[in-house]
Chains A and B, each alone.
Chain A
Amino acid sequence: MNKIELEINGIPVSVEAGTTILDAAKQVGVKIPTLCYHSDLEPWAACGICVVKVEGSPKMLRACATAAAPGMKIITHDPEIVKVRRTVLELTLSTHPNDCLQCGRNGNCELQTLSEEFGIRDVPYEERLRDLPVDNSTGSIVLNPEKCISCGRCTQVCQDMQNVWALEFIGRGDDTRMAPAADVSLDESPCIKCGQCSAHCPVGAIYENDQTRLVWNAIEENKKHCVVQIAPAVRVAIGEAFGMEPGELMTGQLYAALRRIGFDAIFDTNFSADLTILEEGSEFVQRFTEGGVLPQITSCCPAWTDYMEKYATDFIPNFSSAKSPQQMLGAMAKTYYAEQSNIEAKDMFVVSVMPCTAKKFEVNRCESMGASGFQDVDLSITTRELARMIKQAGIDFKTLQEEKADSLLGEYSGAGTIFGVTGGVMEAALRSAYFLITKEDLEDVNFMDVRGMEGIKAAEIDIKGTRVRIAVAHQMGHVEALLDTIRAAKENGEETPYHFIEVMACRGGCIGGGGQPHGATDEIRAKRTAGIYTDDEKSVRRCSHHNPMITKIYKDFLGEPMSHKAHELLHTGYQERKVYKK
């Protein structure tokens, strides 16, 4: 690589050509403040807080968007620069409500942190608030435009990373707001509820719809038997909310915390991920061997299914009809578990803890989400909301002794846990599909080709002479290109380029979900991913079909994968939806 030499505050530094001043400064331990910048996004220099000086130039440059040049002598901090940055902050604060105490981002707001660092005690400018209404129409994410500082991250995420285009810069100058176009609410817009906007918002302008109070109410109600499930990706990220390293595996502590919070039964979505594999894997084998519609496309991700129902309706027949693990657990809790424990489904309250905001939408996405005769999952809360509940319950999460999940719907294999990362559902499915096709187990269950952060991963798998072509996509914006290759083959009358496709809407998969603790970057995603694979590797059983409780549930209750009963309880359908509801 072409290296260039420059100086930052007199410290010599050598960086690759094209490196920004911001990143060059990081290399020598100099932190330049940022507000609109996010490492996931193209810098576009909206806020101006990262200004620096270059010796010999009268202009200040924005460090986030300026490439370092050879021989530059950069000054990142001097009294004048600090004054300019302070002015940027003061101007931003003059249009920002100061009700920090009641804000969802109290304690982890990037604007609040900077205000603290700069010792802002008053704002010399006239306060100009806009009094714009809050939009909670989706029930998943809440848009509070009054708190918006126009950094543009959410819109960039929605358009460039996710290719959803629900949000746009509407208006101009100080009237600009990030909002859906054409005067619709977020729910009427193309929004897929992935929540990546909320995960990237530096302030409290977009956040998850907090439903923790409803959970507390259900627990308080004596008559209710409260059941909880935790998704794979929650266990490797929740520690961050308690100051721990990303990727630290907190499964046992989570079970213990949920028990202390007052849940009556602690289950694990990893169990139902194993169940999903048996259903979805069998569905794939059936399509593959009996000439069904291919490629089969995974449907565990509700943001992805929402996207497909709006933008890629030509693939409806390709979607696996298997429900997501969240919904399978809900359905099994209110039927199988209810039967086994002599509790009526009507007295049961099922809560799920998900890394995801779209899961809130999935719980009543369509009629089949009530397969038990009641809504199968009553409430879905995010990792961030659970962290808050643990704090409210006065639990010292870090020192908590590990506990086990409850039986029947709590045990999981390594295949169940890797559902939390991109490529994981595919890998889990392949581990079992191999068995379903050959009646033999794999010697090496690791499929390295489907792992990693590349946007689209493709591979050909050899199942004892049968070639299965697969592809994995994550981060919604990557999907269209993959779908186009399939469309093109179809138009040309060629064989499908892939037999099986996995899609997850968020970058890195669920570990990077819109409901995870704030501040995710690729570095953090990598650590969370490593935590998931550790969980897989330390599992005694690494294939879903080896989970003894899965064997038991089929023997006692469901019969066999794809049985009539399994279809009634564990499968669903898809329909075309309008991109704009009005």
Chain B
Amino acid sequence: MPENKLTAELISFIEEWKEKEGNLIMVLHKVQEHFGYIPREIAFEVADRLDVPVAKIYGVITFYHLFRLTKPGKNQIAVCMGTACYLKGGEDLILEFERLLGVGINTVTDDGEFSIEAVRCIGCCGLAPVLTVNGKVYGNVKTKDCKKILAHFKGK
């Protein structure tokens, strides 16, 4: 896939951070910002450029929930599973999206349109249960709202 190449910007970022402590996390953040996830071939290239074992990179990626190894959908639904949202029915929202989209959590729909994930507290517990789609926040969401939310993003 042509898009999975380190851009000149990413390469210079890696060069800038190469000798600094904590460089791996910084580089992985930047990579995910660019691709939406950490493509496998990029992880290998980062390993090479930072002279870090591939295993170490995967140790970090799989430790932090934020990092993704698979390409997310065009529209990313992130349902908050922090304590308040969980108690207010966050899980029901996930189940409803799974039912509507026909895919499980952390999976992309066949048309590449949507993916659902559970995230840690996003910091607006007063609006629980909360979810975001592509960063746009929806508060006090009820299961019956899910369909509408999907329709709003579908095909856009």
Binding site for B on A (CB under 8 A): 159, 165-172, 180-183, 190, 579-580
Contact = CB atoms under 8 A, between A and B. Distances in A.
Interface stretch (B10-18, B21-29, B50-58, B81-89): B50-58
Given A182-B40, A182-B43, A580-B44, A170 B59 contact: yes
Given A181-B55, A182-B40, A182-B58, 11 more contacts: A165-B53, A170-B59, A170-B62, A172-B64, A172-B65, A181-B54, A181-B59, A182-B43, A190-B53, A579-B54, A580-B54
Contact of B55 (A172, A180, A183): A180
30 contacts: A159-B53, A159-B55, A165-B54, A165-B55, A165-B56, A167-B55, A168-B55, A168-B56, A168-B58, A169-B59, A170-B58, A170-B59, A170-B62, A171-B62, A171-B63, A172-B62, A172-B63, A172-B64, A172-B65, A180-B55, A181-B54, A181-B59, A182-B40, A182-B43, A182-B54, A182-B58, A183-B40, A190-B53, A190-B55, A580-B54
A41 B43 CA distance: 29
Query: Interface centre among B43, B55, B56, B57, by most A CB within 10 Å?
Result: B55
A172 B62 CA distance: 7
Chain A to chain B: the 4 pairs with minimum beta-carbon distance, closest first: A181-B58, A168-B55, A165-B53, A181-B55
Contacts of A159: 53, 55
A28 B137 CA distance: 63
Contacts of B40: 182-183
Nearest to B40: A182
B25 to A, nearest CB: 15
Interface string B108-151: 00000000000000000000000000000000000000000000
A178 to B, nearest CB: 11
Interface in B31-55: 40, 43-44, 53-55
Contacts of B59: 168-170, 181
Q: Number of contact residues on B: which range applies?
A: 10 to 19
A170 to B, nearest CB: 5
Residue picked from B44, B58, B65, most chain A C-beta under 10 Å: B58
B63 A169 contact: yes
Contacts of A171: 62-63
Contacts of B56: 165, 168
B75 to A, nearest CB: 26
A578 to B, nearest CB: 11
Contacts of A181: 54-55, 57-59
B155 to A, nearest CB: 32
Contacts of A167: 55
B27 to A, nearest CB: 16
A168 B60 CA distance: 10
Contacts of B54: 165, 181-182, 579-580
A266 B64 CA distance: 55
Given A182-B40, A580-B44, A166 B55 contact: yes
Contacts of B53: 159, 165, 190
Contacts of A172: 62-65
Nearest to B54: A181
A391 B44 CA distance: 47
B94 to A, nearest CB: 18
A183 B41 CA distance: 12
A373 B143 CA distance: 70
Contacts of A169: 59, 63
B63 to A, nearest CB: 5
A579 B52 CA distance: 13
A166 B58 CA distance: 11
B60 to A, nearest CB: 9
Contacts of A168: 55-56, 58-59
Contacts of A190: 53, 55
Contacts of A165: 53-56
A432 B120 CA distance: 68
B44 to A, nearest CB: 7
A579 B58 CA distance: 15
Contacts of B44: 182, 580
B41 to A, nearest CB: 10
B28 to A, nearest CB: 14
Contacts of B55: 159, 165-168, 180-181, 190
A580 B47 CA distance: 12
A169 B53 CA distance: 13
A135 to B, nearest CB: 15
Contacts of B43: 182
B42 to A, nearest CB: 11
A107 B56 CA distance: 34
A202 B154 CA distance: 52
A181 B58 CA distance: 6
Contacts of A180: 55
A168 B54 CA distance: 9
Nearest to A163: B53
A232 B65 CA distance: 49
A580 B65 CA distance: 25
Nearest to B64: A172
Contacts of A580: 44, 54
A183 B59 CA distance: 12
A580 B55 CA distance: 11
A161 to B, nearest CB: 14
Nearest to A177: B62
Nearest to A172: B63
A17 B56 CA distance: 33
A527 to B, nearest CB: 34
Interface string B61-104: 01111000000000000000000000000000000000000000
Contacts of A182: 40, 43-44, 54, 58
A159 B57 CA distance: 13
Q: Which of B54, B56, B63, B65 has the most CB of A within 10 A?
A: B54
Contacts of B64: 172
